[in-house]
Structure formats: structure tokens, C-alpha cells
Amino acid sequence: MRYLLDTSVWYRAVVGVETIPPETREILTAANERFGLSAISLWEIGKKVQIGKLRLNRRVSDWLEWAVGSQIEVLAIDVKVVADAMNLPGFPNRHPADELIVATARMHELTLLTTDRALRNYRHARIKYFKPLAEA
């Protein structure tokens, strides 16, 4: 495992792969590649559905199980991840989910694939930013 998907990248990979540039799509569609996903990403999708900002084609629990699939390993929010999230040097925002996602990438020594412009130049983690081609 070399990459951690942020919530947006994970969602795009599942329902809007055409919004991902070819170079990044190549990474995401590699046959034997496995990806990490912070457990907070499950909550983010569920929360967006709960507050009406996202509609899924099935119940949230069924969608999450389906969307994780066999190439994704959900990584726990453990003591080390939380401690790191509370001490991220020069972090560009104070969005708790972003802090936990970046800390998960750091603790597992993974490169974060993200569409978040605020994170693209964050130098205290390995970040691979891409601009989406269109909205998912």
C-alpha cells in the first residue's frame, strides 16, 4: 500500500472516475494496487448524506460497504493518529477530518491523494494533489 485516498478522491474513484485526470486515474486503476482510507472518510460521506448535501443510490451502510470494495483498507483512528493530528506543524486549515486524514497518511507513511487545494503545498506530509476535471 502506497497511497491514502482522501474522501473526495475515494468518492470520485467510485462514482466519477471521469473527473480524475489520466495520470491519477492510472494510479487508481492499477490492478494490484491497494489503497488506505481513513475511517473518518466513512463518517464524512455518511454526514453529507445525513445533512442532505449528498445523495447515494442505496442506503448509506450498503453504499459504504460496496464503495470500500476489495482494494481499500480502512485505517483506524488510533492514539498515534489522533496525537499526530493535534500537532501537525503549520497545518493550512483546522478542519478536523482533514487533520485526521493527513495524520493517518503520516502515521502509515502513505502519500495522500487529494483534491483539496489547501493541502497541495503542505510540506509535512507526502501529498499528491490533482485538480478534478469536472464535478462528481
Structural domains present in the chain: 3-129 (3.40.50.1010)
pLDDT at 111: 98
Q: How far apart (Å, rounded) are the C-alpha atoms in residues 53 and 55?
A: 7
In sequence order, which ranges of 51-95 are alpha helices (DSSP H)?
Answer: 60-68, 79-85
pTM of the model: 0.94
DSSP SS3 for 26: helix
What amino acid is encoded at 34 in this protein?
R
Q: How far apart (Å, rounded) are the C-alpha atoms in residues 7 and 45?
A: 8
Q: What is the pLDDT along the chain (136 residues), one digit of tens a residue?
A: 999 999 999 999 999 899 999 999 999 998 889 999 999 999 999 999 999 999 999 999 999 999 998 899 999 999 999 999 999 999 999 899 999 999 999 999 999 999 999 999 999 999 999 999 976 5
pLDDT at 70: 86
pLDDT at 126: 98
pLDDT at 84: 98
Q: How far apart (Å, rounded) are the C-alpha atoms in residues 36 and 77?
A: 12
